[in-house]
Amino acid sequence: MDLIFRRANLPDGRNRIDVGIEGDRIVAVEAQLPATAAEEIDAEGRLLSPPFVDAHFHLDATLSLGLPRMNRSGTLLEGIALWGELKPRLQREAVIARALAYCDMAIAQGLLAIRSHVDVCDDRLLAVEALLEVKSRVAPYLDLQLVAFPQDGFYRSSTAERNLLRSLDMGVEVVGGIPHFERTMADGAASVQRLCEIAAERDLLVDMHCDESDDPFSRHIETLAAQTKRLGLSGRVAGSHLTSMHSMDNYYVSKLLPLIAEAGVAAIANPLINITLQGRHDTYPKRRGLTRVPELMGSGVPVAFGHDCVMDPWYALGSADMLEVAHMAVHVGHLTALDAIRACFDAVTVNAAKILHLEGYGIAPGCRADLVLLQAADPFEAIRLKATRVLVVRRGKTIARTPEKVTNLFVQGRPPTVALNFSPGSIA
């Protein structure tokens, strides 16, 4: 074999497992694998995970913070207005350079698949061209999936439909939407129907920004689920954000959740962004906007998390760290039970991979040899520590390394790496 990780902990709870790799595929996953390899890595006490997957991002806007100015109110609507000011000034090479810089950050953090929305409401389709170029350039390292996103509204913007179809013709692979931004509820519902029909006609996946508001009557997710059923798109559709569900009437939600589950629609929450952009019209108490993650999970709806934004008109922070995203979800969603914390790890790995329809994702014979070795014993500890990605492997080759942290982290099963003059046990 070419590479064997020895005695690794896996996200499913198995410990001391060897993972053997030949070429770009995993060929063996078992305890005490009776084989040798050109390179063997001692992973004892460390979590070996398939790579992180970001189910929702905006690579055309990332790292543009301050261009042409800062978002002073911190609201979603000022962010959209600001992006509208920047959009006509975008230059292809600058968009490519920022996106590539972000992909570098992502890869170092073990984030090897990103679904990025790309704004198609620019008659030049400059961002579409730029991100298609980025997609091919980063392909050896990172799977970039692009969503045709009509940021200014599919019906609200007069050229959006034509530009969206053009971008699909150019190779953008997922149909996006923004029904809550159309001028009326009826236009929003009509946009969901038309966009789902386009996806069905072209055999494409769907991922819409859906009900990203605090309005409890923003119910486009209901239409999205109904259209998914009508057009037989089950398993191919995701609703992103779904923040209005935070504010909906409980009785209505009790009827809505089974509909979403039955329709086979996935949910993508963006905890860092939802908690900062929602509730901005509230006094106190302030709503925090995250969709009903535990209830969606409990209903059998696949739930993934996205980073959504990093240093752009909507969010000034972020560092391509999907463990930070999961960490925020744990806090905002009251997801502090042990199995809930594990579910949050799944939301930035396996669930997101499933929603993106990634081929060969996972740790099993036949899967792609895409792996991340973490300075943590298990998914719980990975989230607690936002653990260092010691090693990132893509198609069997190491593509990033980060030195382990040399601080007193109390990593499970290991003594503190900096010797203090007392141990915790000595404190009365």
Catalytic residues: 212
- Residue 243 Cβ vs Zn ion, minimum distance, rounded to whole Å: 11
Rounded Cα gap, residues 234 and 416, in angstroms? 49
Measured at CB, which residue is nearest to Zn ion?
308
What character string, x for contact with Zn ion (CB under 5 A) and - otherwise, covers 349-368?
--------------------
C-alpha to C-alpha distances, 371 to 213, 305, 328, 367, 379, nearest whole angstrom? 36, 19, 23, 10, 14
Handedness of CA 8, 14, 17, 19 (dihedral sign): negative
Q: Which residues of 211-274 form beta strands (DSSP E)? A: 237-241, 265-269
Between 239 and 379, CB nearer to Zn ion: 239
Please count the residues of this chain forming the interface with Zn ion, following the rule CB under 5 A. Answer: 1
User: CA-based Rg of the chain, rounded to a whole angstrom?
Assistant: 22
Between 181 and 361, CB nearer to Zn ion: 181
- Residue 15 Cβ vs Zn ion, minimum distance, rounded to whole Å: 37
Backbone angles phi, psi at 394, to 5 degrees: -125, 125
Between 143 and 308, CB nearer to Zn ion: 308
Structure tokens at 198: 């386009």
Q: Are 139 and 114 in contact (CB under 8 A)?
A: no
Rounded Cα gap, residues 347 and 383, in angstroms? 12
Between 308 and 346, CB nearer to Zn ion: 308
Q: Are 256 and 292 in contact (CB under 8 A)?
A: no
- Residue 309 Cβ vs Zn ion, minimum distance, rounded to whole Å: 7
Between 80 and 399, CB nearer to Zn ion: 80
Q: Which of 278, 163, 281, 270 is nearest to 213 (CA)?
A: 278
- Residue 149 Cβ vs Zn ion, minimum distance, rounded to whole Å: 8
Rounded Cα gap, residues 206 and 196, in angstroms? 7
- Residue 140 Cβ vs Zn ion, minimum distance, rounded to whole Å: 26
- Residue 209 Cβ vs Zn ion, minimum distance, rounded to whole Å: 5
Preceding amide of 68 cis, omega within 30: yes
Between 49 and 274, CB nearer to Zn ion: 274
C-alpha to C-alpha distances, 64 to 60, 68, 124, 229, 345, nearest whole angstrom? 9, 8, 19, 39, 29
Q: Is 226 left (phi over 0), alpha (psi -120 to 50) or beta?
A: alpha
Between 80 and 340, CB nearer to Zn ion: 80
Rounded Cα gap, residues 313 and 309, in angstroms? 9
Q: Are 17 and 349 in contact (CB under 8 A)?
A: no
Binding to Zn ion, residues 291-330 (CB under 5 A): 308
- Residue 367 Cβ vs Zn ion, minimum distance, rounded to whole Å: 29
Q: Which of 326, 313, 271 is nearest to 110 (CA)?
A: 326
Binding site for Zn ion (CB under 5 A): 308
